[in-house]
Amino acid sequence: MRVKAMNKWAAAAGVLALAISNLGAEEAASGKGPVEQRMQVGGPSPVGSAEMMQTLNPKSPPMTKAEFEVGKKIYFERCAGCHGVLRKGATGKPLTTDVTIDRGSEYLRTFIHYGSPAGMPNWGTSGTLSEQEVDIMTRYIQHEPPMPPEFGLKEMKATWKVIVPPEQRPKSQMNKLDLANLFSVTLRDSGKVALIDGASKKIVEVLDTGYAVHISRLSKSGRYLYVIGRDGKIVLIDLWMAKPAPVAEIRIGLEARSVETSKYKGYEDRYAIAGSYWPPQYVLMDGDTLKPLKIVATRGMTSDENEYHPEPRVAAIVASHYHPEFLVNAKETGVVHMVNYSDLNNLKVTMIKTPRFLHDGGFESTGRYFMDAANASDKIAVIDTKEGKLAAVVSVGKTPHPGRGANFVHPKYGPVWATSHLGDDSITLIGTDPVKHPQYAWKVVETIAHSGGGSLFIKTHPKSKNLWVDAPLNPDPTVSQSVAVFDINNLGKGYERLPIGEWAGVKPGSKRVVQPEYNRAGDEVWFSVWSGAGEESAVVVVDDKTRKLKAVIKDPRLITPTGKFNVYNTQNDVY
């Protein structure tokens, strides 16, 4: 009975134990395949390097200060992404002392050493942790979690730099780059982004940004590029300069993922917003200098049980086209903050209740409804940004991870929005036209299967007839090193698998194929062939109409390329 109970708890605690740092996913859901593959993808949490306060619990097993520091380091390198900084539970189950002390050292040691079939890595038997380290972690998680410092305006301003003041910047574009077809490519493990020209496929600049870059976002005008990394550092790049270069930077927290800029008419480029994982909060800034203006905490009650959660991490942020508002995902509470930035001194925030564990998502084709993935809840929340309310909740497959999703016109159901999933091989199509196709609106109209689970992104383009889906976290290299493509007008025909990793012609390595991204014209699809930091990677360009290889971009500077953001498509929410 004890073993059965242990396995049940272990399976629950281990779901989504893989941390994906810069792709818009925090955890992989399948829990299948070689544990070595699952472990190498994640990265350490920057919070672990901060000075923390330790609280003693008399019921905890004894530890020396040195052992506690070892435990803290391991926890923030291996565990915080799923279980949270304060161990209150994020996508993984809580590891608070009321749970761990009750389980006892023997139970915890076995659990950490052997892992679980549901995805908790076998830290001991894999050789990742030594027997001594397993013992330290067994005791460490029975101690109260150390408290990281807060990060307020004072701390932010201490990191804020205006490298080139706005008055000294160009009044018009000073280079000959086709900015609309420029790509900002994340070079995850080098802490840089590469700006690549869409026509020539040549690297224009490689710019230092921050640790484990997560996303790039464009200002409404398309002039400013905002890049944020896991370390909470934002770098503002002016694309109008003779050589695009950083003009301002700031650190907004100890760990972060999201940045966005104001898009509503009359507020273009005026404000930027970024959210952090720690502290759980978001900050509004001047759009052209990154000067921090207003901080709002996300700590509060969960949407389902109305229980207090101290660590609702800020995941996706999008900018409304209907009001001067940002939509901010508070991950663990399941609350979307609709932040009206028309008056920062009298800030108005509308709190929209949705399923918990909000992560990523994007707009449907009209730009009115935000299709918001609550991934660990297996739901899509549909938020009406014009009316400022929840329009629907749609049940989908296992752990949806759409990125921004894919919009297209289905031959039978009309406009639909699609998501793929981390936890299964399904693609879910949701009807999105309540005016001309009300019978299908906010309902799952079709589910199709692709090459396998472990997908992070799905993509199409208004000018394309193809639907592309990756699966970089699938344990089968045949699947993770390829991409599936469907004919939108004949989805029942099934998919064609293209060997993108093979086409890259790189040296042996992981070669995970990730994140299809279209060029400005919608006739090319770019893929990252993502290998380890010490392995050769590449960007592969495919002709969208013929599905044939068009170009391979190789360069020693292309270290772990992952996310790619076309300026025009990102600027205008084209997906």
Quote the strand ranges of 354-480, DSSP E.
358-363, 369-374, 379-384, 389-395, 406-410, 414-419, 426-431, 444-449, 458-459, 466-469
Which residues are the active-site residues?
Answer: 79, 82-83, 120, 359, 401
Q: Are 439 and 448 spatial neighbours (Cβ–Cβ below 8 Å)? A: no
| Selection from 540, 562, 564 nearest residue 551 by Cα | 540
What's the sign of the alpha-carbon dihedral 432, 438, 443, 449? negative
**DSSP 3-state percent helix, strand, coil across the chain (nearest 5):** 20, 35, 45
Per-residue HEC secondary structure of 185-202 comes to EEEHHHCEEEEEECCCCC
Q: Are 501 and 511 spatial neighbours (Cβ–Cβ below 8 Å)? A: yes
| Selection from 483, 479, 481 nearest residue 495 by Cα | 483
Residue 494, CB-side half-sphere exposure with 13 Å CA sphere: 4
328's CB contacts (< 8 A; 6+ apart) are 258, 273, 275, 282, 298, 314, 317, 336, 337, 338, 339
| Selection from 144, 286, 155 nearest residue 219 by Cα | 286
| Selection from 490, 491, 464 nearest residue 408 by Cα | 464
Cα-based angle 209, 472, 492 (whole degrees, multiple of 5): 130
Q: How many CB atoms lie within 10 A of CB 307?
A: 9
How many whole angstroms separate alpha carbon 417 and alpha carbon 426?
14
How many whole angstroms separate alpha carbon 496 and alpha carbon 504?
18
Can you read off the two tokens belonging to residue 56?
């003693």
Rg (CA), the chain: 23
What is the amino acid identity at position 11?
A: A
| CB-based contacts of 482-485 (< 8 A; 24+ apart in sequence) | 482/451, 482/513, 483/513, 483/516, 483/527, 484/450, 484/451, 485/547
Core vs surface per residue 427-438: b (16+ CB within 10 A) or e: bbbbbbbbeebe
Residue 183, Ramachandran bin (φ over 0: left; ψ between -120 and 50: alpha; else beta):
beta
How many whole angstroms separate alpha carbon 380 and alpha carbon 370?
10
200's CB contacts (< 8 A; 6+ apart) are none
Phi, psi angle pair for 347, to nearest 5°: -65, 130
| Selection from 222, 215, 227 nearest residue 239 by Cα | 222
3-state secondary structure of 51: coil
